Amino acid sequence: MSLRPRREQVPVSRLEVVLRAGLRLGQQSISAPLQGEVSLLRRGNDEHLDAVAVLAYTNLWDGFVNRSFREDITTSLRKFENPGLYAAAFAFFADEDKLRELCPVPGVYDEHGGLGNITLVREPDWYQPAAIPASACYLRLVHSGLRESVVNVLSFIGTSKNWDELPKKAFEGAVLKIRERLQRLSKPRLGRHIIPVDDGFNRLFRGVAMPPGKGGLDACNEMQGRFTSTSMQQSVAKDFALLAASEAIAAKTERTELFMIKILADETVKGIGVNSVLDNPWQCHPEEREVILHPTTEYTVVGEEDVVAWCPDSDNDEEQSIKAWKLVKVRATGASGRRRKLESV
């Protein structure tokens, strides 16, 4: 059951009007006017699937996608604290046969028995003033019966081996479909027109927290063989590192050393500029200016130094203190022969 109040179902006539309009992501705005109009995305539209795959990765699904390169994720799936947050993307990417079996909801299939007319909308952020437009951080399936059925199915995961085997398999299938989309969307040159250039390279930043005694090579090793999130803004990467260290301190774990990784990517590196796929209203955090690097990217440390910088204290943003950082300069290149097999995984 959703934690948010139930909303009225969007009439089919509105769906048809919007779908005819095209909603071409990355070429024209798909944002809705602020006064009550809502844009919908449809499973049967290939561009919408691309959009939801990127949005899902940037919000909640990145850990599942990257884990899928290393293991069968069904072995480590745990009970979801809020399954409703995963329901819309799951319904967009779950295998059709498994979704029909798990959620046999009348009125979901189109006239040919397919699921192409499954639609989602952005939800309002209930913690923000009503004047603020709906947030892409919260996606809601339009069909209320399907929405409730999917949430119920996802609620079984992690509860009992007798009940959650098929939901787990269906969830893993959705993860693999998202991964497949991301691999296809990853392009060489990273869209140079949107990424700052440094001496002929695309300049990106990644902020992380590492255990004591680790160096740049260790940080690079953690980026190998997985999609890697970076930002065009150093300040964004800095905030991520500070947050990771703060969470590690609270959890009493060792990953408290601050690393700023400056990545210089050449033209062979493949990736996704999130801004090139999603308009701002369809991004959960457009201010992050995120660029996702492909798993086949090779990283080489070309410089490393210890620096200090003023940073906000975790308990009071108005107070600042000097913190030690490890600044790592990294060269990124495209796939070598020994790693191209990831392309087809």
Q: Could you tell me if 57 and 148 lie in one domain? A: yes
Classify residue 38: in a domain, yes or no: yes
Say whether both 253 and 153 belong to one domain: no
Comparing CA positions, the residue from 190, 212, 105, 116 lying closest to residue 148 is: 105
User: Other C-beta atoms within 10 Å of 10: how many?
Assistant: 17
Shared-domain flag, residues 229 and 309? yes
Distances (CA, A) of 94 to 140, 148, 168: 16, 16, 11
Same domain membership, residue 173 and residue 200: no
| DSSP structure class, residue 204 | E
Q: Name the helix (H) or strand (E) containing 52.
A: helix 46-56
Instruction: Tell me the pLDDT tens digit for each residue of 103-132.
Output: 999 888 776 668 888 999 988 766 555 555
Is the Cβ–Cβ distance between 260 and 231 less than 8 Å? no
Instruction: Let me know if residue 4 belongs to a domain.
Output: no
205 plus 154 within the same structural domain:
no
How would residue 158 be classed by pLDDT, with cut points 50, 70 and 90? Answer: confident
Reported as a pLDDT band with limits 50, 70 and 90, residue 226 is very high
Based on the fold, state whether residues 42 and 77 are members of the same structural domain. Answer: yes
Same domain membership, residue 209 and residue 162: no
Do residue 160 and residue 28 come from a single domain? yes
Residue type at position 80: F
The residue count for the chain: 345
Residue 49: HSE in the Cβ half-sphere, 13 Å Cα cutoff:
22
Say whether pLDDT at 37 is over 60.
Answer: no
Per-residue model confidence as pLDDT tens digits over 280-305: 888 888 899 999 999 999 999 999 99
Residue 337 has pLDDT above 70, yes or no: no
Residue predicted with more confidence, 31 or 152: 152
Parallel, antiparallel, or unpaired for β 316-333 and 257-265?
A: parallel
Task: Look at residue 301 in the predicted model and tell me its pLDDT.
Answer: 96
Put simply, whether the predicted model's pTM sits higher than 0.75 gets the answer yes
Q: What is the mean pLDDT of residues 157-180?
A: 90
Q: What is the rounded distance in angstroms from the CA atom of residue 41 to the CA atom of residue 282?
A: 10
Q: What average pLDDT does range 250-263 have in this prediction?
A: 93
**Whether 213 and 122 share a structural domain:** no
pLDDT band at 340 (very low <50, low <70, confident <90, very high): very low
Residue 174: inside a domain: yes
Alpha-carbon distance of 141 to 327, in angstroms, equals 43
Tokens coding 78: 């745990």
How many other CB atoms sit within 10 Å of the CB of residue 78?
Answer: 7
98 closest CA partner among 177, 42, 41: 177
Per-residue pLDDT for 62 more than 90?
A: yes
Q: Give domain status of residue 131, yes or no.
A: yes
Phi, psi of 135 (to 5 degrees): -100, 135
Residues 6 or more apart in contact with residue 82 via CB below 8 angstroms:
3
How many structural domains compose the chain?
2
Last residue of a domain, one of 185, 205, 232: 185
Residue ending a domain, among 136, 162, 185, is 185
State the pLDDT at residue 108: 85
Exposed/middle/buried for residue 137 (C-beta within 10 Å: 0-12, 13-18, 19+): middle
Q: Are residues 102 and 223 in the same domain?
A: no
193 versus 142: the higher-pLDDT residue is 142
Q: Which domain holds residue 237?
A: 187-344
**CA atoms in the 13 A half-sphere facing the CB of 168:** 17
Instruction: Tell whether 192 and 247 lie within a shared domain.
Output: yes
Domain assignment of residue 6, yes or no: no
In a domain, 84, yes or no: yes
Q: Do 59 and 43 touch, CB atoms closer than 8 A?
A: no
Q: What is the pLDDT of residue 275?
A: 85
Residues 136 and 259 in one domain: no
Domain presence at residue 7: no
pLDDT at 58 exceeding the cut of 90: yes
- Judge whether 5 lies within some domain: no
Q: DSSP for 115-138, please give it.
A: -TT-EEEEEP-TTS-TTSPPEEEE
Tell me whether strands 201-210 and 40-42 are parallel, antiparallel or unpaired: unpaired
The pLDDT of residue 179 is above 50? yes
Give percent above pLDDT 90 in the chain: 54
Work out the pLDDT band at 213, boundaries 50, 70, 90: very high
Q: CA-to-CA distance for 123 and 78, rounded, in angstroms? A: 25
**End residue of a domain, out of 158, 185, 212:** 185
